[in-house]
Amino acid sequence: MSNLIKEVVNFFDKMEDHIRGSLSRFPIPYALIGGIGIVLFWRGVWHLADEINLDSLASMVIGTVILLMAGLFTSMFIGDHIILSGLKHEKKVTDLTEKEVETEKDLLQHIKKDVDDVKSKLK
């Protein structure tokens, strides 16, 4: 039984790699297909909850527990970028002083110039 599960997982893993590789060259159809898949998945979850008569409070509690156990609760609602910037003690753009913004702008312009120089050398 375990061997069968490994084969099925391996099959879908390879199929996913192939399809993702093909679709990544066509971002708009890829986004449409992904969007349709997400909507249909959540529609199924919603209808299943309705069929087993799961009320709103129970849905919220069960969903919260699942997200907490999977380590996704905070990242789903506030995003990884915000969490990482908080851990690094980075300031929000609105909290930066004008001098800090100018310094960051100068740094980005310098990096862009370096990248442009590398591009021209590669040509």
Amino acid 91: pLDDT: 61
Same domain, 112 and 83: no
Same domain, 83 and 119: no
For residue 47, give both structure tokens: 């209808």
Global pTM exceeds 0.85:
no
Same domain, 67 and 49: no
Same domain, 96 and 71: no
How far apart are alpha carbons 110 and 113 in whole angstroms? 5
- Confidence band, pLDDT 50/70/90 cuts, at residue 94: low
pLDDT tens digit string along 48-61?
999 999 999 999 99
Which of 73, 74, 48 has its CA nearest to residue 59?
Answer: 48
Same domain, 72 and 111: no
Region 78-97 average pLDDT: 62
Region 80-94 average pLDDT: 62
Domain that holds residue 17: 1-54
Same domain, 7 and 23: yes
Name the domain count of the chain.
3
Same domain, 47 and 19: yes
Same domain, 12 and 47: yes
